[in-house]
């Protein structure tokens, strides 16, 4: 996937965000899982303990208090067989900061690469329109609102919420507001995967509809445990937050778009 939408300057913030996401992932337990060999129980327990320590947990986020007991990364044997040992937390966690950490944590290589692809394709133009500092603040704010939106809907959930998807969904929403008619090369699954150049309003509009359908339970996804509500909240906020910046800069002269509210 890539778009046909030039930028005026190098999108350094987007590049740095991608680099930080990749670098952080390489130092997490999930980086050892290549998907080729089975994951041992000990590794799963280490990952669970790591994410409970650093990632955002909806039940903790709403009152900003950490859970009293969490996995400690060890394997034990209980009445139901081997499993991860849960003990009183031996660390101090600030849940509101864990939301920031969660934006740079991912559950596996596919999770990371998928998010970074979308950020690479759509982030540069949004950064170019907003400016670097505004774009960084916008990105982090989208991530926070997406996470807390998910927590409000799933107030009792104790599974860690990880990934840059909420923040990137906000970037997609802003891109749709700024460049609805920009062309995006996408692989369309029709018999075989056929590359087609489609307008951004169609590509991102369908993406949003799917996220909303999954979050509302109108469709079933095979993607596993995905926080679709966070995607919807991030996208809607990014779309609306982009409105004040619609006419901050004129359209690119070589795009030839008429000056309308969605240009």
Whether 100 shows a pLDDT value over 70: the answer reads: yes
Q: What is the mean pLDDT of the chain?
A: 84
Per cent of the chain over pLDDT 90 is 51
d(CA 59, CA 61): 6
For residue 65, report the phi and psi dihedrals to the nearest 5 degrees: -130, 130
User: Which of the pair, 248 or 31, is modelled with greater confidence?
Assistant: 31
Q: Which residue has the tokens 């990137």?
A: 168
d(CA 42, CA 83): 9
**Model confidence pTM above 0.75:** yes
Per cent of the chain over pLDDT 70 is 83
d(CA 241, CA 236): 8
What lies within 8 Å, CB to CB, of 216 at 6+ separation is none
> Which neighbouring-strand residues pair with 189?
193
Whether 182 shows a pLDDT value over 60: the answer reads: yes
Identify whether the C-beta of residue 164 lies closer than 8 Å to the C-beta of residue 72.
Answer: no
d(CA 112, CA 20): 11
Nearest CA-CA partner of 109 in 33, 161, 15: 33
Mean pLDDT of 64-82: 74
Mean pLDDT of 199-220: 86
Q: Which residue has the tokens 């934006």?
A: 103
Mean pLDDT of 238-256: 71
Whether 189 shows a pLDDT value over 50: the answer reads: yes
Identify whether the C-beta of residue 94 lies closer than 8 Å to the C-beta of residue 61.
Answer: no
Of the listed ranges 13-17, 48-52, 145-149, the one predicted with least confidence:
48-52
Mean pLDDT of 106-132: 94
> What pLDDT, on a 0 to 100 scale, did the predictor assign at position 167?
97
> What pLDDT, on a 0 to 100 scale, did the predictor assign at position 186?
79
Domains of the chain, start order: 2-26+94-245 (1.20.1540)
pLDDT tens-digit series, residues 210-231: 999 988 877 665 445 788 999 9
Mean pLDDT of 172-193: 82
> What pLDDT, on a 0 to 100 scale, did the predictor assign at position 197?
81
Identify whether the C-beta of residue 160 lies closer than 8 Å to the C-beta of residue 57.
Answer: yes
Whether 171 shows a pLDDT value over 90: the answer reads: yes
Range 210-216, long-range pairs (CB < 8 A, 24+ positions):
211/169, 211/235
Beta strands 81-88 and 183-190, pairing class:
unpaired
Q: First-to-last CA distance in the chain?
A: 22
> What pLDDT, on a 0 to 100 scale, did the predictor assign at position 225?
72
Whether 258 shows a pLDDT value over 90: the answer reads: no
Query: 260: which DSSP letter?
Result: -
């Amino acid at each position: 996937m890539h778009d046909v939408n030039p930028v005026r300057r190098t999108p350094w913030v987007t590049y740095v965000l991608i680099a930080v996401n990749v670098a952080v992932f390489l130092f997490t337990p999930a980086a050892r899982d290549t998907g080729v060999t089975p994951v041992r129980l000990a590794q799963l327990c280490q990952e669970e303990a790591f994410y409970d320590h650093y990632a955002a947990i909806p039940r903790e986020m709403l009152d900003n208090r950490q859970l009293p007991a969490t996995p400690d990364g060890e394997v034990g044997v209980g009445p139901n067989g081997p499993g991860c040992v849960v003990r009183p937390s031996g660390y101090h966690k600030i849940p509101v900061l864990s939301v920031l950490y969660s934006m740079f944590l991912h559950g596996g290589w596919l999770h990371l690469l998928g998010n970074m692809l979308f950020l690479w394709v759509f982030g540069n133009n949004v950064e170019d329109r907003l400016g670097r500092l505004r774009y960084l603040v916008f990105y982090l704010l989208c991530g926070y609102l997406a996470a807390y939106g998910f927590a409000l809907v799933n107030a009792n959930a104790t599974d860690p919420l990880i990934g840059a998807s909420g923040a990137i969904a906000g970037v997609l929403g802003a891109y749709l507001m700024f460049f609805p008619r920009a062309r995006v090369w996408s692989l369309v699954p029709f018999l075989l995967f056929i590359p087609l150049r489609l307008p951004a309003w169609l590509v991102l509009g369908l993406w949003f509809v799917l996220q909303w359908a999954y979050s509302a339970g109108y469709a079933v996804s095979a993607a596993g445990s995905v926080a679709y509500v966070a995607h919807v909240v991030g996208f809607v906020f990014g779309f609306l937050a982009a409105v004040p910046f619609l006419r901050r800069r004129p359209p690119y002269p070589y795009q030839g778009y008429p000056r309308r509210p969605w240009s």
